[in-house]
Structure 1
Amino acid sequence: MIEHGLEEKVLDLVLERISGIGLLRAGGRQRTDSTHVLAAVGTLNRMEFVGETLRAALEALSAAAPQWLSALVTADWVRRYGVRIDSYRFPKGENVRQEWAEQVGRDGFTILEAAFAPGSPGWLREIPAVQVLRRAWVEQYHRDGEGVHWREGKDLPPGRCRLSSPYDPDARYGVKRGSGWCGYKTHLSETCESDVPHLITQVITTDATVADTEVTESVHQGLAARELLPAEHDVDAGYVTAAHIVTARNEYGIELVGPVGLDTCHENHEGEHFTQSAFTVDWQARKVTCPEGKISASWSDQRKSSGTPVARVHFTAQDCGSCPVRQKCTKAANGKWGRSLTLLPRDQQEALEARRREQLTDEWQQRYNIRAGVEDTISQAVRRTRIRRTRFTDLPKTHLGHVFAVTAINIIRLDAWLTETPLGQTRTSHLARLDLAT
């Protein structure tokens, strides 16, 4: 199915059938959230990783080219790599452990140099475990005239690019809300209208390092391809930026509903201070007026490191230095610098300010409450299909498994709807019920 691009076919067929009987339609409201997915491999620290990577390559070569490998290794290699690498087998002491890691590095380079030597069989370097070894050694070690060296943390590639396991090259180590895991993330989108069953319309699988904000556009593209775009899309703050709000509205006709970051001052002010909304922006004249009536001295168009266009606006030190409310506005040292602002493009900045005002109202909060229901979908998927732990060792197969899982959930929900099975009730603890009764 993966080879022929049919991963989504089973879900497409079920959704088309449900649409045909009038229980699924475009428009309305949908909601999206994500959950972590554990890889089908163990989580390894750096020394375990390099040891297991070399051991995996040696295991593969022992089976594929035993005579070739026998000429390279000694009995010490069998002692070091004959069994799985575990932390409790490491020598004690930081210096001794680093020497162990560098020994592993030298052994790995011995294998790589032999495998890629001109006289070696070309197929040796095509063995997947050898390819993983080559990539891992570039990431974890460097060589100079003095030998092989263990890379320091600052010299490692970013987590998104760095291997986490020799047995699943697609798995990555991610962290969210202080919790880390090795594997993937899955994003589920579902309808949430009261007069039809709640059905999952989209599933996206990424590695664990991909932030939710990077998936918003992909969700909308997938729903557009299925002709199931909602009129309103309810998500948490991780999926929302000003650019997403504008793009969803202008390109897809979707009202993207989710909280954005609060309007705060750049400095860590305590007590009352002037936020960005206290300044008046004249977009035509490219000028900004501060709360005390002073006009900005410069406006320059720039780009963030991410490529996002912004405008940098500065006020003069003379205007800010003598300002009677300077302490509420800026804490630049000794009055040498004036207040500065960073503005997004006009449509994004106005959308951002409008959302900040909206999300403070009770009406918006009541409207947004519907998003929380997607937690039930994640719970059901975890309990019924074990979606939080993949059975496979790469991203394409993991995604295919997720497609089957959400298709199964849709069939379960359709059956419940047709047989008029009521939705499960929200669980309330005995303590909470006691408090409500009191």
Structure 2
Amino acid sequence: MSMQPVPWPDPDPVVAAAIGAMYGSRKTEPPLAVTVRDRLGEWLRDEEFAGAFGVRGRPGWPPSRLALVTVLQRAENLTDRMAAEAVRTRLDWKYLLGLPLEDPGFDHSVLPEFRAKVADAELEQVLLDALLERLASDGLVKAGGKQRTDSTHVVAAVAELNQLELAGESVRAAVEALTAAHPGWVAAALHVSEWTRKYGTPVPGWHLPASKKKQDELAVTYAKDGHALLRAVYDKASPSWLAELPAVETLRKVLVQNYTLVIHAGGREVVKRREKQPEGDGIPPGRYRIASPYDADARWGAKRDESWLGYKLHVTETCDDAPPCGCAGPGHDGDCGAAAFPNLVTCVATTSAAVTDTEMTGVIDDALAAKGLAPGRHYLDSGYLSAGRLVAEAARHGIALIGPLQADTSAQARAGQGYARADFAADYDAQQVTCPQGKTSSSWSPCSQYGRDAIVAIFARSDCEPCPARELCTKGKKRTITLQPRAVAEAQAALRAAGNTKSFQADYARRAGIEGTMHQAASRGARRARYRGLKKTRLDHAFMAVALNLLRLNAYWNGNPLDRTRTSHLARLELSLAS
């Protein structure tokens, strides 16, 4: 399929007349598609998607209009078939897309093909960026304002597998892929009936053995079959392209991550399962370990008391104060009911579930700055914040991060007794630390820990061993204190001091509004991936963000603010009586 950029056609006169008759009187609120066309016009160009399509071949549907169809599909929670049918039959969609009444639309299979091409080209942010650029020209979004960010879990569209099921299902997935790609090679290289008996049905559907010994034996059998299959694939007599199949590469990684293979003298092979251990030949950390052969990007994650297999979605939106109404005058109290600007999503980022929130703070701020929308104040919870990040973002982008810092993690602070890190006074000019008993450190050593600058101060053993408060301070023979650089430590102290004030708490309460956005996104399926793989899931979330923005803009333009919560009949009666 090729792309031939074309401008959007004007709405068909017949369709426009019908829309005007139905909604021209403004007694009935026009649907989203109509409002978007009237308010925004042609705000997205085909050229934005040039990197996803070739220049030769049969021209397909214009990608800019397919993108809008996908957004409307996301806004209304429609399947591909339902969206394609809406293009054929609904007047409001035809009005938006500039189609005549008799236009037959397209087959629903065009939509997944479009998504795959855009996701593979990593152009998922094009639509959101184009919308924000258009809104910035209208003054609805701007740099230097206030924005807030939060994250939520996204469950992958695959089944959860334990280590045993993962091994067997990875072998089965590779055999299935090889059979579909080259059945003749499979028939010649494998004993088909034997492999069908083992891997003809999904492994999780089997009745797996209950005893640990038999489970280990079955796991080794899976591994041996997997190694045998890979040897056949990588054999010089086999077609080289078989090794490039994604399922084959996934099987190779699963075997490396979960098993060890040792070949002794005489050719005897010994396969063993890797165990969970911090060092040596243990299972690799969760952020690198494949959890399903059908979604190699999904990872296990945890947030507070919740754990899941899949991804994590980070959403950033504006949260500015309402603009002045412009009608102030003598005796005017400023409360004229003028509509505030809608809170609009400015950035969405989807990662594997193993990526922590604090790793994304700088990434999100970089993305906002690249769009020309870097906020002056960025409201986040403690998961995104650290004292070092506070200083770094102020220096890099001039962004003030607003939120509570995580609590002291020293053993004494966690236990709630003894001398915690905060009980020691650091003198950066004299390069020494004073303990609660008045003793000063004997050494001051700048260093790097986990890629960050730090200072390690150590107290003399001669001071610590005879100290009467030693039990409150350390279990060792001497106390070691790790300090942050001066600028970071001062920023941390200032923020913790400000965090106890009412003014800070009142300002930080602004962040709580992001929970409503998360609920709105969840109602459109954001917490369960529609597709497999990080690229397609990332694209889906980016298009969902555009859908949320258009829904909010539609409510704003029509003077009909979105309800944040449901209102009961009794509450409505109370409001009517009060008015």
Instruction: Determine if the TM-score, normalized by the shorter chain, exceeds 0.5.
Output: yes
TM-score, normalization: structure 2?
0.70
Match of 1:66 among 165, 178, 183: 183
The amino acid that maps onto 1:181 is W
1:436 corresponds in structure 2 to none
1:351 corresponds in structure 2 to 491
2:535 corresponds in structure 1 to 396
Kindly state the Cα deviation for residue 325 of structure 1 after the two structures are TM-superposed: 4.3
Kindly state the Cα deviation for residue 126 of structure 1 after the two structures are TM-superposed: 1.5
1:7 aligns with 2:124: yes
1:131 aligns with 2:249: yes
- Aligned-partner Cα distance in 1 for 2:293–2:417: 53
Report SS of the residue matched to 2:203.
Answer: coil
Kindly state the Cα deviation for residue 331 of structure 1 after the two structures are TM-superposed: 3.3
Kindly state the Cα deviation for residue 92 of structure 1 after the two structures are TM-superposed: 2.6
The amino acid that maps onto 2:481 is L
2:293 corresponds in structure 1 to 166
- Tell me the number of residue pairs that the alignment of Structure 1 and Structure 2 aligns: 424
2:332 corresponds in structure 1 to none
- Aligned-partner Cα distance in 1 for 2:261–2:410: 47
Moved more, 92-101 or 403-412: 92-101
C-alpha spacing 1:360/1:185, structure 2 compared with 1 (3 Å): same
In the TM superposition, 1:153-302 aligns within 5 A as 153-154=276-277, 155-195=282-322, 196-263=341-408, 265-267=410-412, 273-302=418-447
Report SS of the residue matched to 1:25.
Answer: coil
The amino acid that maps onto 1:314 is I
Q: Which runs of 5+ in 2 are unaligned?
A: 1-117, 323-340, 570-579
Q: Deviations over 1:387-430 (max 9, x none)?
A: 11222211111111111000000000011112222342556999
- Equivalent pair of 1:48/1:87 in contact (CA under 8 Å): no
Match of 1:120 among 238, 248, 255: 238
Match of 2:479 among 315, 319, 339: 339
- Equivalent pair of 2:516/2:564 in contact (CA under 8 Å): no
Report SS of the residue matched to 2:119.
Answer: coil
- Aligned-partner Cα distance in 1 for 2:137–2:469: 64
Report SS of the residue matched to 1:31.
Answer: strand
- Equivalent pair of 1:52/1:84 in contact (CA under 8 Å): yes
Match of 1:419 among 551, 558, 562: 558
Moved more, 242-251 or 66-75: 66-75
C-alpha spacing 1:274/1:137, structure 2 compared with 1 (3 Å): closer
Kindly state the Cα deviation for residue 317 of structure 1 after the two structures are TM-superposed: 2.7
Kindly state the Cα deviation for residue 91 of structure 1 after the two structures are TM-superposed: 2.0
1:106 corresponds in structure 2 to 224
In the TM superposition, 1:43-58 aligns within 5 A as 43-58=160-175
C-alpha spacing 1:322/1:397, structure 2 compared with 1 (3 Å): same
- Equivalent pair of 2:413/2:420 in contact (CA under 8 Å): no
- Equivalent pair of 1:312/1:343 in contact (CA under 8 Å): yes
Kindly state the Cα deviation for residue 272 of structure 1 after the two structures are TM-superposed: 5.6
- Aligned-partner Cα distance in 2 for 1:4–1:102: 39
Rg: which structure is higher?
A: 2
C-alpha spacing 1:264/1:180, structure 2 compared with 1 (3 Å): closer
- Aligned-partner Cα distance in 1 for 2:401–2:549: 24
Q: Deviations over 1:308-359 (max 9, x none)?
A: 221111122332344454454x1335xxx23321101111111112122221
Match of 2:547 among 408, 432, 436: 408
- Equivalent pair of 2:455/2:482 in contact (CA under 8 Å): yes
Match of 1:149 among 265, 272, 275: 272
- Aligned-partner Cα distance in 1 for 2:175–2:415: 59
2:81 corresponds in structure 1 to none
Match of 2:462 among 318, 325, 340: 318
Q: Deviations over 1:131-155 (max 9, x none)?
A: 1111111112111235222222221
- Aligned-partner Cα distance in 1 for 2:535–2:484: 36
Q: Deviations over 1:256-299 (max 9, x none)?
A: 01111234653368666433333332212211223343221111
Report SS of the residue matched to 2:478.
Answer: coil
1:434 corresponds in structure 2 to none
CA RMSD across the alignment: 2.1
C-alpha spacing 1:232/1:325, structure 2 compared with 1 (3 Å): same
C-alpha spacing 1:275/1:143, structure 2 compared with 1 (3 Å): closer
- Equivalent pair of 2:441/2:458 in contact (CA under 8 Å): yes
- Equivalent pair of 1:265/1:273 in contact (CA under 8 Å): no
Moved more, 273-282 or 133-142: 273-282
- Aligned-partner Cα distance in 1 for 2:536–2:195: 34
Moved more, 35-44 or 356-365: 356-365
- Aligned-partner Cα distance in 1 for 2:516–2:422: 37
Moved more, 354-363 or 93-102: 354-363
- Aligned-partner Cα distance in 2 for 1:18–1:316: 62
1:433 corresponds in structure 2 to none
C-alpha spacing 1:114/1:152, structure 2 compared with 1 (3 Å): same
1:26 corresponds in structure 2 to 143
2:526 corresponds in structure 1 to 387
C-alpha spacing 1:375/1:153, structure 2 compared with 1 (3 Å): same
- Aligned-partner Cα distance in 2 for 1:42–1:162: 16
The amino acid that maps onto 2:535 is P
C-alpha spacing 1:148/1:120, structure 2 compared with 1 (3 Å): same
- Aligned-partner Cα distance in 1 for 2:479–2:273: 45
Task: State the identity as a percent.
Answer: 43
C-alpha spacing 1:269/1:241, structure 2 compared with 1 (3 Å): closer
Instruction: Give the number of the structure with larger relative contact order, counting CA–CA contacts within 8 Å between residues 6 or more apart.
Output: 1
- Equivalent pair of 2:298/2:534 in contact (CA under 8 Å): yes
Report SS of the residue matched to 2:383.
Answer: helix
1:308 aligns with 2:463: no
C-alpha spacing 1:52/1:429, structure 2 compared with 1 (3 Å): farther
1:97 corresponds in structure 2 to 215
- Aligned-partner Cα distance in 1 for 2:512–2:562: 15
Q: Which runs of 5+ in 1 are unaligned?
A: 431-438
The amino acid that maps onto 2:288 is C
